[in-house]
Amino acid sequence: MSKENVRLTSMVKTSGCAAKLPPEKLHSVIDSLPLSESPNLIEGFESADDALVYRVEGDTVSVQTVDFFPPMVDDPFTFGQVAAANALSDVYAMGGEPHVAMNLMCFPSCLDLDVMRQILLGGLSKVKEAGAVIAGGHTIEDPTPKYGLCVTGFMKRDKVWSNKGAKAGDAIVLTKALGVGIVNTAAKVDEAAPESVREAVLSMTTLNKKARDTAVKYTVHAATDVTGFSLSGHGSEVAMGSGVSLEIKVGDLPVISGALELASLGFLPEGRYTNENWLYSKISYADSIPQDYRDLTYDPQTSGGLLLFMPQEDAEMFVKDMNLPCCKVIGRVMPQGDCLIYYV
C-alpha cells in the first residue's frame, strides 16, 4: 500500500493517547509490583509523574520518558509529528529540555516503506524543533502501525517540576485547548468539520516548548501534561499527590472548535468512559454543568497542553506572556476536600 492511498486510521481500533490501557487496569498491575530502589532514583513509576528522574552526578539529573501509540491522522508525516510532540512533552512537563531521543516503530509489512520514512521524517522534524537529536531506535513488524520516542533530557535537580507540590491558593493554568479525542473520533468517520480537524492537528503538532520556556521564568509549584487520562485524570494525580483539591470552572476551559457539539452527538472515544470509571467517585460536578462539558473533562487528549500550578500573580503574567487564546487560567487550588476535583 503506497503513501498516496494509505489511510492509517483505518488500520487501528483506537488511536493516539486514547489507546492507553484503561487506568484502572494499569494501576492494578503497577501497584502490585515491587519498587526498584536506588539512592540515585529520585522519581520512579510509583509517583505517577510524567518522567523518571535519575541523579547522574552532583546536582545534575537525567529526565527520561517513553511514549508511542497508533495513528490518529492519516498523513504519515503528520502522524510522526504528533507522536514525537507527545513524547517530548513529558520532559517539558518536568520543566526540562529534551536532548536525545530514540525511535520506536511498529510497522505493517503491507505498507510501502516510504510510509515509514515519512513517519520518521515527521518525528525528526519535531525533535529538531525541540533542539534535540535522534540517535537510533528499534523497529518491529506489526499489523498495527505505531510510533513514538524514548526521550532523555538533563537538568539541575532543583529545577525539576513534579506533579506534587500544588498549594492552596495557586491558580491552575492550561496551555492547550481540550477536545482533541472527541474531534479525532468524529474525523475517523468524516463527521468532523475541516476547521475542527485543522485546529486539533495544529494543537497536537505544537510542542510544549514555548509553554515550558515561558513558565520557567515564574514560580511553578506543580506541573503535568494533559494526555490520555484526560484533564480529570491528570488533574486528580496532582491533587492526590499534593494533598489538595482543585476547583475548575468549565466555562473557562479552552475548547477545540466544534468539540462540544460533536460530544453532544455521541462522538466519544472509548477512553472517555474508562477515565470516568476510574475517577467517578473522586469528581464532583455542579448540577448546572451540561453533559457535553462533562464528556470534555474525561476526553483523552493526544499531545495535550501543560497543566501548571502557580501563584495567582505569576499565572496571570504567564498567560499574558504566552499571548495565546488557548492558554488560560481555568481554576484554583483549594484545601483538601471530599473530592479531588470540583467542576463549577
Residues 47-93: pLDDT tens digits?
A: 555 678 889 888 999 999 999 999 999 999 999 999 999 999 999 99
Percent of the chain with pLDDT over 70: 93
Evaluate whether 343 touches 295 at the Cβ level (below 8 Å): no
Place of cell 518536568: 94
For residue 202, pLDDT over 90 is answered with yes
pLDDT interval class at 6 (50, 70, 90):
confident
Q: What is the DSSP string of 74-130?
A: S-HHHHHHHHHHHHHHHHHTTT--EEEEEEEEEE-TTS-HHHHHHHHHHHHHHHHHT
The model's confidence at residue 274, banded by pLDDT at 50, 70 and 90, is very high
- Tally Cβ neighbours within 10 Å of residue 291: 11
Q: The domain 171-343 belongs to what CATH superfamily? A: PurM-like C-terminal domain (3.90.650.10)
Q: Where are the domains of the chain?
A: 8-159, 171-343
Can you tell me the mean pLDDT for 112-141? 96
At 232-259, the pLDDT tens digits run 999 999 999 999 999 999 999 999 999 9
- pLDDT-derived band at 34 (thresholds 50, 70, 90) equals confident
- Share above pLDDT 90 across residues of the chain, in percent, rounded to a whole number: 82
Q: In the predicted model, is pLDDT for residue 214 greater than 80?
A: yes
Higher pLDDT, 2 or 38: 38
Contacts from 129-133 at CB under 8 Å and sequence distance 24+?
129/207, 129/209, 130/88, 130/97, 130/98, 130/207, 130/209, 131/97, 131/98, 131/99, 132/88, 132/97, 132/98, 132/99, 132/100, 132/101, 133/99, 133/100, 133/101
* Site of grid cell 453532544: 264
Give the model confidence (pLDDT) of 13-32 as tens digits.
665 555 666 767 776 777 77
- Of 2.160.10.10, 3.30.1330.10, 3.40.50.80, 3.30.1490.20, the CATH number of 8-159 is 3.30.1330.10
Mean pLDDT across the chain = 92
First to last CA, the chain: 49
Q: What are phi and psi of 25, to 5 degrees?
A: -65, -45
Q: Looking at the predicted structure, is the pLDDT value of residue 12 above 60?
A: yes
Q: Which residues pair with 328 in a beta bridge?
A: 174
Q: Are 97 and 159 in contact (CB under 8 A)?
A: no
Q: If pLDDT is split at 50, 70 and 90, which confidence band does 329 have?
A: very high
- List 43's β-bridge partners, or say none: 53
Q: What is the Cα–Cα distance from 227 to 306, expressed in whole angstroms?
A: 9
Residues carrying an active site annotation: 17
Looking at residue 88, its pLDDT comes to 97
Phi, psi of 224 (to 5 degrees): -160, 175
